[in-house]
Chains A and B, each alone.
Chain A
Amino acid sequence: MTASRSRLWAIAAAAILLALLFIAPFYFVLVNSVKALGEIMVDAASLPDKYLFSNYSKVWDIIKFPKALWNSILITGISVTGIVIISAMTGYRLVRKPSVFNKILFTCFISAMIIPFQSVMLQLVRVTSFLELRANLFGIVICYLGFGLSLSVFLFHGFIKSVPLEIEEAAVVDGCSPYGVFWRIVFPLLRPIIVTVIILNGLWIWNDYLLPVLIIGSNKDLTTIPLAITRFFGQYTKQWDLALAGLTMGIMPIIIMFLMLQKHIIEGISSGSLKG
């Protein structure tokens, strides 16, 4: 008994050590983001002699942080809302009316999940240019809807199969229209899967880089956080004092979000993956 106990202690100690390794990079970024460049070069591990918060105020202006943050929130928010509404409706119909056409459509959605972004991106640039969907908010949202649908329709489809039909039939008998049935009866029941869909898509869109570069790269007014940081990093490569302050600002919103919504995020991810 004592042998297995001490072995358990050893394993726990190893886990704690590993955890320290896992957060060490954050420590490095954080302490060095408030140092002068000279101090970083001499010693990147120690706490700063003098806290230099001016790094932050400089970068704040250079990358126009409030604007980038707002763009990220706007693009992520609108896209995710759209994905939830459209894929819930599509998934619902595909479950309740499994006609031949709808079955084929569902297969298309599922199969498309395997297509890597790189395999469509060049042609997508051409199609979106042709339809004037490039360099504007509407265009990028449409792109996210298109790429987000597959997985989300699949998740809603799986969930709606388990929603009992009797509730809907009762509502129809009471004189509810098909649209009323969906919005007032079914949609509220989908809450758990909606959370999953919001989280999976929200994280992806918030952190996405290549699609915004291709679609809104030329329009500086729509720059998102990953784009702003990349552009900034390209210009200030060796100026680590500013670069690290910029990186810290770039990761802060999502970290704060995670710490606040941790429970939902982790549940959303594990239920989404195990059903998928």
Chain B
Amino acid sequence: MNLRKRSNEWIQQLVFVGPGMIVFTIIVLIPFLLGFYFSFTEWNGLDLDKAKWIGMDNVRRIFTNDDKFWAAFKFTLKFTVVTVVVTNILALLLGLLLTRPMRGRNTLRTIFFLPNMIGGILLGYIWQFIFTKGFKTIGEMTGWHFFELPWLGTPETGFWGLVIVFVWQTTGYMMVIYIAAIVGVPKDLMEAATIDGATYLQTVRKIIMPLVMPAITVCLFLTTSGAFKMFDLNLSLTKGGPGTSTQSLAYNIYAEALVNNRYGLGTAKAMLFFFAVSIIAVTQVWLTKRKEVEA
């Protein structure tokens, strides 16, 4: 009887957890672990079985002789800092505004959220048109210098072009999260503050902000990792250009392997990328978690 019960347990474990475990192992775990091995090899992607062990050569090469990788690294860091700050400030302001009683606020929420439904690839193509043709027309109509810049044609306009589209795409999503958090602030706390004579701005500073800290943690995490891993938008909006001046890290890895056919080197970069993402994510969550309070 006891034996039967135990074999039953085994079958249950297999039925419930087995499929997920197998798929996860094949698709995520094995490729990830293989990454550590391939980082120390040289293979061209064509002869899949001929990966030659070359020890630390890839890593050495990245650290001593790969300006483009470090340029992409710097570009990505700068992009991440700018977009995280702009997106979150804008989203938080919109969240505060669109939780106040006001006509048409649901329509406004819908509009701000809409760009998020569309994937980075299609958004990039859409904005290619806006930047090159739409801006030109607006520039001719208004004569504003801003619209007559050579958009996407220089490293600077390429960078800010990516920032604009990323902010446009991500703000609505973060706004939705902030709105959910602000709506969740207990009503009695807000009322008590008003009775005590606090202005709206004071309630925001002293009551809403501390209580939506968990949402800020989440949004900072989502925007940081989204910006740091940006790829689709990079591919379709600037293709890393002009030249390689707007290449993000993810794009640099992709190009190294699939354009230059240096899979070993590409994998080594990909593993460094993984470490960078982990370090940034962990530090950032650790920093903001400390600021959270209970209602």
Most A Cβ at <10 Å: residue of B21, B122, B180, B278: B122
Contacting pair B118 A251 (CB below 8 A): yes
Residue in contact with A226 in the complex, picked from B110, B122, B180, B219, CB distance below 8 Å: B122
The CA-CA distance from A121 to B270 in the complex, in Å, is 9
Contacting pair B32 A115 (CB below 8 A): yes
A39 to chain B, nearest CB (A): 11
Residue in contact with B129 in the complex, picked from A22, A29, A105, CB distance below 8 Å: A29
- Excluding A4-B200, A142-B27, 13 further A-B contacts by CB distance (< 8 Å) are A8-B100, A108-B29, A118-B253, A118-B270, A119-B271, A126-B34, A127-B34, A182-B16, A226-B122, A230-B236, A266-B109, A273-B218, A274-B218
Give the size of the chain A interface in residues (CB under 8 angstroms). Answer: 88
Known contacts: A89-B19, A93-B13, A145-B23. The answer to whether A23 contacts B111 by CB under 8 A is: yes
A-facing residues in B1-58 (Cβ within 8 Å): 12-13, 15-17, 19-21, 23-24, 26-32, 34-35, 38, 45, 48
Contacting pair B250 A153 (CB below 8 A): no
Residue in contact with B17 in the complex, picked from A16, A23, A90, A206, CB distance below 8 Å: A90
A147 to chain B, nearest CB (A): 6
Residue in contact with A92 in the complex, picked from B16, B173, B176, CB distance below 8 Å: B16
The CA-CA distance from A143 to B137 in the complex, in Å, is 44
Contacting pair A15 B97 (CB below 8 A): yes
The CA-CA distance from A255 to B117 in the complex, in Å, is 7
B-facing residues in A1-45 (Cβ within 8 Å): 4, 8, 11-12, 15-16, 18-19, 22-23, 25-26, 28-29, 32, 40-41, 43-45
The verdict on A146 contacting chain B, using a C-beta distance below 8 Å, is yes
The CA-CA distance from A247 to B121 in the complex, in Å, is 10
The CA-CA distance from A23 to B179 in the complex, in Å, is 20
Contacting pair A146 B133 (CB below 8 A): no
Contacting pair A269 B173 (CB below 8 A): yes
The verdict on B162 contacting chain A, using a C-beta distance below 8 Å, is no
Query: Which residues of chain B are within 8 angstroms of A108 by Cβ–Cβ distance?
Result: 24, 29
B-facing residues in A203-258 (Cβ within 8 Å): 203, 206-210, 226, 229-230, 233, 240, 243-244, 247, 250-251, 254-255, 257-258
Main SS class of interface, A: helix
The verdict on B70 contacting chain A, using a C-beta distance below 8 Å, is no
| A to B CB contacts below 8 Å, 30 in the list | A22-B168, A22-B172, A23-B111, A44-B129, A45-B138, A90-B21, A93-B12, A93-B16, A112-B28, A115-B274, A116-B273, A118-B231, A118-B254, A120-B270, A122-B263, A122-B266, A123-B31, A124-B27, A126-B31, A129-B48, A145-B27, A209-B235, A210-B232, A233-B236, A247-B125, A255-B117, A255-B118, A262-B110, A270-B177, A271-B180
